[in-house]
Structure 1
Amino acid sequence: MSGFALHTLFDLLAWGAAALAALWLTRVRKIAFPPVTTELAYVAALVLGAGTGAVLFGTLNMIVSGVPAVARSIEGGIAGAILGVELYKQATGVSLRTGARFALPLAVGVAVGRIGCHLAGLEDFTHGTPTALPWAHDFGDGVPRHPVQLYESAAMAAFALVYVIKVSNRDAAWIDRGFYLAVGFYGLQRFVWEFFKPYGTILGPFTVFHLLSAVLVAWAVAMLVTAQHAGDADDRAAAEI
């Protein structure tokens, strides 16, 4: 099977695994998440934002790296989806935080999808830089490289495990704010792995995805802080009643 076919297969598996994770949490574990709108415009904003972000940042990174080609990026898709939803909410006056139920699907989807990136080989351009470490992987050109896709897969799988334990124990903070934790953790680990990739830099030693990772972490921290303040205000109001 070609690298492209393998990548496509694992993209589909990632989407399927993410959907099953969401169903398992709500139908089997009976986790009660904050309400989310199911309006078609909301879904459209999410999908359009994800698709645009994936292609925009994936292609930009290729250009910066001296390989002019259209490409897709998981991280760009995450950022685009967040921006699309936030713009939709601003335009429609929606104040509810709608991301909670997407935390585990995000982590599981990335963990599965990155395996496909690894199996796709050099043509996928997500491989790591050369290394002499014993777990280095040779993609067929005789150069041992960091299996950086598997680093990311393992990191997000570990987050998914911790998340499942926390929400299974009915930890309210993880249930309500899990998506911000997932995005923040994703951005943090992705920032680290970028140092092991052959991408062109755009600001000092930093790549396009270093900068995007920093933005995602900053957004996640801001949302966690404001969520905490909102929770504290609710607690004070309840105490006064």
Structure 2
Amino acid sequence: MDFPVYIFGIHPHLIFESLAYFIGFRVYLFTRNKERIPMDQALWVIVGAILGAALGSKFLYWFENPKATMENWINLFYLIEGKTIVGGLLGGLIGVETAKKCIGWTRSTGDDFVLPLAVGMMIGRIGCFLTGLDDHTYGTATTWMTGVDFGDGIKRHPTQVYEIGFLALLAFTLLQIKRKNAGWEGLLFQLFMLSYLMFRFFIDFIKPTPHPYWIFNNIQLASLLGILYYIWLINKKQIEKRREIHA
């Protein structure tokens, strides 16, 4: 297989990133809880998510190589070329919470985004895999049977495929929890974020990206902060639930 794998002459990243947004949005419209939030207010939440994700994905990317960012801080092409999923997720979270405050909505809306996010991210990672070395999402060299030669004669961890498999398993698990109506409103999204951030924290140890922050890279530091936040949030919710039971 030659990388990038063009489809009808179109770059795979463009095709699958477009499909990820389109299908992810359609999944959201089809699966969202219509009783949780009216559509007119849900659209504002979506706008907040999109803007927050766009800003967050760029902002975190600038910390991948801080020296290069400082050297190119007036280079517009450098500043807009990269993005990160973790930055997009965390930025999207901030955008959603900001939008909810603006419209005065207090209930959790995160559960509605779990399946659309998982589906969209899996589709997007197909494009990352088919792009090959140009996408910079591959792993380090490996002798594992899963190793893939992306065109330079070196077999590497196909971390994009690992992520697709992880997201599929995570989505299935969370759907089982949803069917049992277990937990509280917002639990599914909290578990999704906690699980994905833990996955990214560990998988980035086998990615050949700069690790300028001791043994960590920018993604791992952001993931660690997110992990600590969601552990605190879930623990807080559990304490509140216990108090309600014994009240």
TM over 0.5: yes
Q: 1:147 deviation in Å?
A: 0.4
Find the counterpart in structure 2 of residue 21 from structure 1: 27
Taking a change above 3 Å as real, the CA distance of residues 45 and 148 of structure 1, as seen in their structure-2 partners, is same
Give me the whole-angstrom Cα distance separating, in 2, the residues matched to 1:135 and 1:65: 33
Find the counterpart in structure 2 of residue 52 from structure 1: 55
TM-score, normalised relative to structure 1: 0.83
Give me the whole-angstrom Cα distance separating, in 2, the residues matched to 1:233 and 1:35: 27
Find the counterpart in structure 2 of residue 131 from structure 1: 142
Secondary structure of residue in 2 paired with 1:60: coil
TM-score, normalised relative to structure 2: 0.81
1:22-101 matches, cutoff 5 A: 22-26=28-32, 34-35=36-37, 38-39=40-41, 41-61=44-64, 69=78, 70-90=81-101, 94-101=105-112
Find the counterpart in structure 2 of residue 105 from structure 1: 116
Which deviations, in whole Å up to 9, do the C-alpha atoms of 1:114-160 show, x marking residues without a partner?
12111111111111111111210001111111101111111011101
Secondary structure of residue in 2 paired with 1:121: helix
Secondary structure of residue in 2 paired with 1:86: helix
Aligned length: 232
RMSD of the alignment, in Å? 2.9
Q: 1:162 deviation in Å?
A: 1.3
1:213 aligned to 2:223? yes
Give me the whole-angstrom Cα distance separating, in 2, the residues matched to 1:221 and 1:124: 32
Q: 1:35 deviation in Å?
A: 3.7
Secondary structure of residue in 2 paired with 1:128: coil
Find the counterpart in structure 2 of residue 8 from structure 1: 14
1:182 aligned to 2:192? yes
Give me the whole-angstrom Cα distance separating, in 1, the residues matched to 2:204 and 2:89: 16
Give me the whole-angstrom Cα distance separating, in 2, the residues matched to 1:217 and 1:4: 37
Secondary structure of residue in 1 paired with 2:200: helix
Q: Aligned letter for 2:63? A: L
Identity rate of aligned residues, in percent? 30
Taking a change above 3 Å as real, the CA distance of residues 76 and 128 of structure 1, as seen in their structure-2 partners, is same
Structure 2 unaligned blocks of 5 or more: 1-5, 73-77
Q: Aligned letter for 2:181? A: D
Secondary structure of residue in 2 paired with 1:203: coil
Taking a change above 3 Å as real, the CA distance of residues 38 and 172 of structure 1, as seen in their structure-2 partners, is farther
Find the counterpart in structure 2 of residue 192 from structure 1: 202
